[in-house]
Amino acid sequence: MSQGKHSQHDEAKLITQQALHQARQMDLQPSPYMRTRILAELRDRKSRKQAVSLWKRVAAGCFTMAVGVLIWTSMFTGKASFEAIVNQPYVVRVEMTELQTELIAGAEISLPDGVTFYSESYPELKEKRSLDLAWNGSLNRPVLPFVIHGEHKGTKEVKVKFFDRERNIVAERALGIEFLEKSGS
Amino acid sequence: MTESDELTKLVLGAQSGDEGALSDLIEATQRELFRFTYYLCGNNQLAHDLCQDTFIKVLEGIGNLKEPHRFKSWLFTMAKNLYLDHNKSSKNKGHVSLDSSPDLESSEDKQKVMEIRQALSHLEAEERIPLLLVDLEGHSYQEAAQIIGISEDALRSRLHRARQTFSLKYKKS
């Protein structure tokens, strides 16, 4: 039985190998243009890849430039944006950590129309459009706080200039403050 | 210099960007690859497409081939994978269409090819592939097992089943 299976297996192997050997001997050829087509396709893909790579580099360059401009704008134009409520006192704290505070001897705060200074102790400050502050020696805390009051809805710009002892401008800050209506009112 | 050494030299040339070597590499292997894809799918046009796609994929990535002497195995592995992918698509299932015949001069050869294709059409792809790699293309069991991605024992078992079915159908034709 087992011998029969073996001979059956051998016969199957022999028939298969003979048939496929014949197949191998036959002159079965691919199209004579196949090689040319493959080489043309490879050349085409290569040039497409190079073009894509060039565009990718250009796009990456533009993106980097845009990010750079954005960073530069946010870092060096000194503009900041805040939100406040109309007719409510709003405390502005100008951070001075990036400035050389030992050089600073004073500051001038200028308000736009529709914005006033607010102080319970000195209500007369409301009439001033700008405020000159001077201090002797270095600041204890590198923060300049003041309180303002907005009368109308919209974005206003408060300007702060820092001076040295000779009254030269050391730094400037423009603070964009958006006054919003109180919700529900 | 053996055929294998010659091929390795061409692969190295193609890797360094020599288009002449690339062209010679196709020339040196296209007949075998076409024969394999032809008997694998049983369709002249599809065999050409598979062959062309295989060469393009392999030659595009030839720079990544770390063992140049294994180029042929890589080629057959890619052809097998592309065929199986093609076969996976439901509309391509059922394989062999016998509608297109190869360009052969002798009508006797044409008849023989048709008989072989007919017998092969009764085999599942997983049996047909080892049969063609070993008995048609002359790959060793080890090479064929590597190309298919199975163990040598599994290959022997598939080969045994494939030969039984093939011989039975071939004898009948």
Task: Cite the DSSP H helix spans in chain A.
Answer: 2-25, 34-76
Yes or no: say if B23 and B52 are a contact pair by the CB < 8 Å rule. no
Residue type, A83: E
Is there a contact between B26 and A38 if contact means CB atoms under 8 Å apart?
A: yes
**A117 alpha-carbon distance from chain centroid:** 34
Distance CA B98, CA A114 (A): 88
Q: What is the pLDDT of residue B87?
A: 87
Average pLDDT of the segment spanning B81-92: 82
Determine the distance in angstroms separating the CA of B101 from the nearest CA of chain A, rounded to an integer: 11
Yes or no: say if A117 and A111 are a contact pair by the CB < 8 Å rule. yes
Chain A and chain B share a number of CB contacts under 8 A equal to 100
Selection from B99, B95, B121, B131 nearest residue B173 by Cα: B121
ipTM of the complex: 0.85
Is there a contact between A9 and B160 if contact means CB atoms under 8 Å apart?
A: yes
CB-CB neighbours of B150 under 10 Å: 16
Q: Model confidence over A40-81: pLDDT tens digits?
A: 999 999 889 888 888 888 888 888 888 887 777 655 555 556
Residue B67 scores a pLDDT above 70: yes
Q: Which residues contact B26 (CB under 8 A, 6 or more apart)?
A: A34, A35, A38, A39, B55, B59
Highest mean pLDDT among A81-90, A95-104, A132-141, B71-80: B71-80
Q: Model confidence over A9-51: pLDDT tens digits?
A: 888 999 999 999 999 988 888 999 999 999 999 999 988 988 8
Determine the distance in angstroms separating the CA of A32 from the nearest CA of chain B, rounded to an integer: 10
The closest CB to that of B171, out of A15, A20, A26, belongs to A15
Distance CA B1, CA A173 (A): 79
Residue with tokens 């140049």: B68
Residue A2 scores a pLDDT above 80: no
Q: Model confidence over A127-158: pLDDT tens digits?
A: 888 988 887 666 666 788 889 999 889 889 99
Say yes or no: A40 contacts chain B, CB-CB below 8 A: no
Q: Model confidence over B114-123: pLDDT tens digits?
A: 899 999 999 9
Q: Which residues contact B122 (CB under 8 A, 6 or more apart)?
A: B165, B166, B169
Yes or no: say if B56 and A42 are a contact pair by the CB < 8 Å rule. yes
Is there a contact between B105 and A27 if contact means CB atoms under 8 Å apart?
A: yes
Can you give the pTM of this predicted structure?
0.63
